[in-house]
Amino acid sequence: WKTLDDMDLDGKRVLVRVDVNVPVEDGRVTDTTRIDRIVPTIKDIQSAGGIPILLAHFDRPKGKVVPEMSLGQIVPALSQALGQDVTFIDGDYGDRVGKLAPGDVALLENTRFNPGEEKNDAGFAKRLASLGDIYVNDAFSAAHRAHSSTEAIAHLLPACAGRLMAEELHALERALGNPARPLMAVVGGAKVSTKIDLLANLVRKVNHLVIGGGMANTFLAALGHDVGKSLAEHDMTDTARDILAKADEVGCEILLPHDVVVAREFKAGAASEVVPADACPADAMILDTGPDSVERIGKAMSNCKTLIWNGPLGAFEIAPFDTATNQAARMAADRTKAGKLVSVAGGGDTVAALNKAEAADDFTYISSAGGAFLEWMEGKTLPGVAALGG
């Protein structure tokens, strides 16, 4: 794929697909991370003489105009991040886009208000493409969607990756495509069922696979342990056994908890105890990975050169069940700071968990993506990336 440096942007209208699908409460943006991370692309286009015209979705309006999902509510935060007024264009895009001048930045209304967008409709893509001369995709986090503004449009104009897209692809390549080894993956989260493809892909690629969170309980059940009242998917135990067998076959070490933190209730400050992983009392639930297991994770990590992390190791939202996540995240952060580890994290709850552990800032790279990061970890081709030429 090409980057902004390969394009002649001078005097051009540059359609930039961004992801500003950010949390909003009462019409105000509560986390500007995704907005802040598209600023370099927009500034670089302006410096090269181009006029950035931003295309983006917000939420899931399903092809209808839903006023609460208007991108208008993002404009103040975007203007603040850019240090200039952003022209918001709703209704008929064409007219107002024609009046933009060098120095301007425009944001078009939610592309998902158009029923063609999610169908990757060629007509809608053509209409969008007619508004610009060049297409830049800077939305890695929406690249798992084959939509008119992420896929079809890339075939209609000279196309390239924006700065954030390029950064994401380089970081992911370094973490899983062509990593320095040994390579460790940490995968947590509630359910095995949502991460089967991911686990199946990882056992073939990584040297050590740490499994934590609710999904570890399903593996413990698959090993014949009684998991009491723990969250576990008992219909997934065959799948869990298949994954363990595959890991064995290819020489991937799976690190499951061998001690666990259990409690009778899931609430802040609930009385908890550490027990062996095969000794969860019948009336208790497993809510975190135990201290010996964290130590084992640390030992394995200390031999590793690369780490990829998705999902918390326990019920991190409530103390003290955030302990394993916090400790393992801090170990990764410290080794990264010492220059001994390349650490890449992304997807869903991961960033919140690493932020809570005060570890995120020290990781080598934190992806801005949720679902796209997972699909990429599953080894899938992302349509928005493929459309840029792979």
Binding region for ligand 3PG (CB under 6 A): 19, 21, 60, 141-142, 145, 370-371
Spatial CA neighbour of 364 closest among 282, 285, 307, 281:
307
Q: How far is the CB of 37 from ligand 3PG (least distance, A)?
A: 13
Give, in order, the Cα–Cα distances in Å from 308 to each of 230, 370, 379: 26, 14, 14
Spatial CA neighbour of 38 closest among 81, 86, 88:
81
Task: For residues 253 and 208, give the distance between their C-alpha atoms in angstroms, rounded to a whole number.
Answer: 5
Contact call for residues 138 and 119 (beta carbons, < 8 A)? no
CB closest to ligand 3PG, residue no: 21
Nearer to ligand 3PG, 179 or 370 (CB): 370
Q: How far is the CB of 21 from ligand 3PG (least distance, A)?
A: 3
| Residue 60 labelled as part of a binding site | yes
Nearer to ligand 3PG, 188 or 370 (CB): 370
| Residue 317 labelled as part of a binding site | yes
Nearer to ligand 3PG, 62 or 340 (CB): 62
Q: Among 127, 191, 229, 246, which one carries the catalytic annotation?
A: 191
| Residue 347 labelled as part of a binding site | yes
Q: How far is the CB of 118 from ligand 3PG (least distance, A)?
A: 8
Spatial CA neighbour of 237 closest among 196, 293, 275, 289:
196
Q: Is 191 a catalytic residue?
A: yes
Q: Among 189, 290, 346, 348, which one carries the catalytic annotation?
A: 348
Q: How far is the CB of 371 from ligand 3PG (least distance, A)?
A: 5
Helix (H) or strand (E) holding 70: none
Nearer to ligand 3PG, 141 or 364 (CB): 141
Q: How far is the CB of 295 from ligand 3PG (least distance, A)?
A: 34
Instruction: Cite the beta strand spans of 294-369 per DSSP E.
Output: 306-310, 342-345, 365-366
| Residue 349 labelled as part of a binding site | yes
Residue type at 112 in one-letter notation: R
Is the peptide bond preceding residue 182 cis, with omega within 30 degrees of 0?
yes
For strands 285-289 and 259-263, give the pairing: antiparallel
Q: What angle do CA 267, 360, 371 make, to 5 degrees?
A: 80
Contact call for residues 135 and 153 (beta carbons, < 8 A)? yes
Determine how many CB atoms are found less than 10 A away from the CB of residue 62: 12
| Residue 58 labelled as part of a binding site | yes
Q: Is 181 a catalytic residue?
A: no
| Residue 350 labelled as part of a binding site | yes
Q: Among 34, 163, 335, 356, which one carries the catalytic annotation?
A: 34
Q: Would you please indicate which residues are annotated as catalytic (active-site) residues?
A: 34, 191, 348, 371
Positions at the binding site:
19-21, 34, 57-60, 112, 145, 195, 317, 347-350
Binding site residue list for substrate: 19-21, 34, 57-60, 112, 145
